Amino acid sequence: MIPFNKPPYTGNEDQYILESIKSSKISGDGEFANRCHNWFKEKLRSKALLTPSCTHALEMAAIMLDIKAGDEVIMPSYTFVSSANAFALRGAKIIFVDIRPDTMNIDENKIDAAITNKTKAIVPVHYAGVGCEMDVIMDIASKNNLYVVEDAAQGMMSTYKGKPLGTIGHIGAYSFHETKNYTSAGEGGLLIINDKKFVNRAEIIREKGTNRSQFFRGMVDKYSWVDIGSSYLMNDVSAAYLWGNLEKIEEINKDRSRSWERYYWELKSLEEKGFISLPTIPKDCIHNSHMFYLKVKDLKTRTELLKFLTLNDILAVFHYVPLHSAKAGLNFGEFSGTDEFTTSESGRLIRLPMYYGLEKAEVSYVTNTIKKSYDQTK
């Protein structure tokens, strides 16, 4: 069976995990967390803080923005539940906006119509590591005095007009879940703070609402409870695993890119025949090959193809069920405008196996099996 995913493992991780375990500090912000923080500071040119997950990073963002009952937050319905949960937890109403069929990202041209006097923030989600139209979104936010929180869970090593995803809005978030390009031993995240006015409060919220970080820097003579917060630190053993990934980040990125390109060109003939649609990458975007997906004719065709692939020992999967159609989505949000593409396009999408170390022969087996399925339907 060709699995859908394998967590990235380079061989570097073992030594660092053991080193962390044998150290005198395996809790948050230890030696390996500091190495990771310095790496991200250099690469992103923003303040970055490791968290236990991307979900936690988004929850921190909601607290930092003082999201409360009565506020509205705009985002696509085609996203993971954490995008909405982080703000619903603070009492906000989630306003879902339709997506673009080419990138599966939020349709920037439909955001304006969703804005009311209750709107507090926009949450663009960079699907498959392909950037949303951030210039337009930031312009809308500026004109309406709104915050932008980039859900870049899938976007590490991707750029929009040369800027790393997650560094364009006021706040950004990465995921290091085992399904992502880089992982911190299965779970993990990163909060990216691009607006300096949020830095101090972010540190306080992350340290259970205390000014402990300032105390260790000698900025206060004792630390105490000064704000709401929670335990949002990544343990150092997880950070050690992540450091092993970061040392081989270019190797991992190139390996995934080769697999993505191979999928694309080996399936191009089916697109030219009108059987499938392949991903679209806008000219201003460089993506990280996080995901390779294709879109078939309809939900029925998708179900049949997924079954055929499983019978041939290939684990391919669909993705999100649109949040606005879920029970909690109906309770905590509403859809703005017409659902022109969200439901129909999501019902066509199939994600193919993609991971570091995927062999050339395995990619070809997947593509040949897909071609075989269409040969049988003629």
pLDDT at 131: 98
Tens of pLDDT, residue by residue over 339-363, are: 999 999 999 999 999 999 999 999 9
Angle at 193 between CA 167 and CA 19, to 5 degrees: 100
Q: Could you tell me if 61 and 120 are in contact, meaning their C-beta atoms sit under 8 angstroms apart? A: no
pLDDT at 218: 72
Give 1's pLDDT tier (boundaries 50, 70, 90). Answer: very high
Q: Could you tell me if 88 and 115 are in contact, meaning their C-beta atoms sit under 8 angstroms apart? A: no
CB atoms < 10 A from the CB of 309, how many? Answer: 21
Q: What is the dihedral of CA 30, 58, 321, 100, to 10 degrees?
A: -120
Instruction: Tell me the pTM.
Output: 0.96
Q: Could you tell me if 186 and 170 are in contact, meaning their C-beta atoms sit under 8 angstroms apart? A: no
Beta strands per DSSP E along the chain: 47-51, 72-76, 93-97, 119-122, 147-151, 159-160, 163-164, 171-175, 189-193, 285-286, 293-295, 333-335, 349-351
The mean pLDDT of 255-275, rounded to a whole number, is: 98
Give ranges for CATH 3.40.640.10 in the chain.
13-246
DSSP conformational letter for 114: G
The mean pLDDT of 59-63, rounded to a whole number, is: 98
Structure tokens at 37: 């923080």
Give 213's pLDDT tier (boundaries 50, 70, 90). Answer: confident
Which of 208, 251, 204 shows the shortest CA–CA distance to 230? Answer: 208
pLDDT at 200: 96
Beta strands per DSSP E along 53-107: 72-76, 93-97
Q: CB-based contacts of 370: which residues, under 8 Å, 6+ apart? A: 267, 270, 276, 294, 305, 309
Q: How far apart are CA 318 and CA 75, in angstroms?
A: 21
DSSP conformational letter for 334: E
Complete edge-to-edge strand list for the sheet that includes strand 47-51: 47-51, 189-193, 171-175, 147-151, 119-122, 72-76, 93-97, 333-335
Percent of the chain at pLDDT > 90 equals 95
User: Token pair 């019902």 is at which residue?
Assistant: 347
DSSP conformational letter for 27: S
Fold observed for domain 249-376: Aspartate Aminotransferase, domain 1 (3.90.1150)
Work out whether strand 47-51 and strand 189-193 pair parallel, antiparallel, or are unpaired: antiparallel
Give ranges for CATH 3.90.1150.10 in the chain.
249-376
Tens of pLDDT, residue by residue over 67-81, are: 999 999 999 999 999
The correct answer on CATH 3.40.640.10 for the domain covering 13-246 is: yes
pLDDT at 378: 56
DSSP-assigned beta bridge partners for residue 268? none
- Looking at per-residue confidence, does 119 or 213 come out higher? 119
Average model confidence (pLDDT) across the chain: 97
pLDDT at 30: 96
CB atoms < 10 A from the CB of 373, how many? Answer: 20
Tens of pLDDT, residue by residue over 162-177, are: 999 999 999 999 999 9
Which of 122, 81, 135, 79 shows the shortest CA–CA distance to 104? Answer: 79
Tens of pLDDT, residue by residue over 117-144, are: 999 999 999 999 999 999 999 999 999 9
